[in-house]
Amino acid sequence: MGLASRKGKRRQHSAVLPIIDSSQCTYCKKCMKWCPADAIIQDNGKAYIVADKCIGCGECIATCRFDAVKYNFNADEGYLQKSMAEHACGAVIDKPGKCFYFNVLINMTQNCDCLVRSRTRN
């Protein structure tokens, strides 16, 4: 995912949209102000993300001080994995014989590593 553009990363995460935990939402409206798609509305005194309008940018996650906004990792993870593979292929397809690949797995998390809060220590 690291070689993808910002737009590409947004596209990769588009199937894994954020959700709001209403038990942690204080309805401070900060996420609503920062949402570029106006996808967050008020529902029973709490913020609510309209999935059809959400573009998956993660601004709401970055601005929530109360950890009420989280990615819904139970969504279609197959799409995310396929999209990441397609972007990786696009980054190296015009560089035959010029790439070296190695994998190292350290400090694995159950959630996406783009969320600093989700990192755990082993």
Domains in the chain (CATH in brackets) are 6-95 (3.30.70.20)
Q: Is the pTM of this model over 0.85?
A: no
Residue 20 in contact with residue 69, Cβ under 8 Å?
A: yes
Q: List, in order, residues 6 or more apart from 64 with CB less than 8 Å away.
A: 30, 31
What residue ranges of the chain have pLDDT lower than 70? 1-2, 10, 13-15, 72-77, 109-122
User: What's phi and psi for 71, nearest 5 deg?
Assistant: -75, 140
Q: Is 94 helix (H, G, I), strand (E, B) or coil?
A: coil
